[in-house]
Amino acid sequence: MGVIELFLTGVGLSMDAFAVAVCKGLGMKRVHWGQAFVIALFFGGFQALMPLVGWAVGSLFSGYITAVDHWIAFGLLVLIGAKMLWDAFHEDECVCGRDCASCPRRHTADCDDPAAAEAAPAAPPLNYRELVMLAVATSIDALAVGITFAFLGVNIAAAVAIIGITTFALSFAGVAIGNQFGSRFEKPATIAGGIVLILLGTKILLEHLLG
């Protein structure tokens, strides 16, 4: 496989991570570049790691992996999607101490306490456990691709670098793109994001079950 083929493979593998990165950007009041970097680093890192693991394992455990990979991805994505829906419909107390509908936690500036609105964070803190689960779920397919790399004699160092960098770049862009929609419509966007993750997990499961 040449560089162009590996790049196209990387783009294809990174689409799930891109979609999830867009969902993460939805919940930000404004783009938090540090968090965008961390999100992209997780997705890019796992997307690069999985083909390496698959290549190392080769055909030894391929039968076991392909038998359950879709169920793992489905379970993780549905779990995170359901959590997003739960959070959207069960709002916590406003950071200004009131249970108001329009508060800085909902990423608006018209709370009763302007100082609290100004002090509200641009983005909620990252949940690293959730981030790892999402990174694993969106990189499961790359594990199987790594196994095929072993059969094809692909330069694994080049493959891992191209796939990882491509996923990093697209995930970083995904956070910024998602933020453009989420800053004004955070609650419905969170609901949409949860539904997208559930549908994404269902899509992965059906693709494997139906061939």
| 28-86 pLDDT per residue, tens | 777 788 999 999 999 999 999 999 998 888 767 666 666 777 787 788 778 877 876 88
pLDDT at 65: 65
How many domains does the chain contain in total? 1
Across 148-168, average pLDDT:
89
> Domain limits at 10?
3-93+123-210
Q: Cα–Cα distance between 18 and 34 in angstroms, integer?
A: 17
Q: Which amino acid is at 45?
A: G
Is there a domain that residue 114 lies in? no
Residue 145 has pLDDT above 90, yes or no: no
Is there a domain that residue 107 lies in? no
Is there a domain that residue 109 lies in? no
Is there a domain that residue 113 lies in? no
- Per-residue DSSP letters for 39-91? HHHHHHHHHHHHHHHHHHHTTSSHHHHHHHHHHHHHHHHHHHHHHHHHHHHSP
Is there a domain that residue 118 lies in? no
Residue 102 has pLDDT above 70, yes or no: no
Are 96 and 104 in contact by the 8 Å Cβ rule? The answer is: yes
Is there a domain that residue 108 lies in? no
Is there a domain that residue 45 lies in? yes
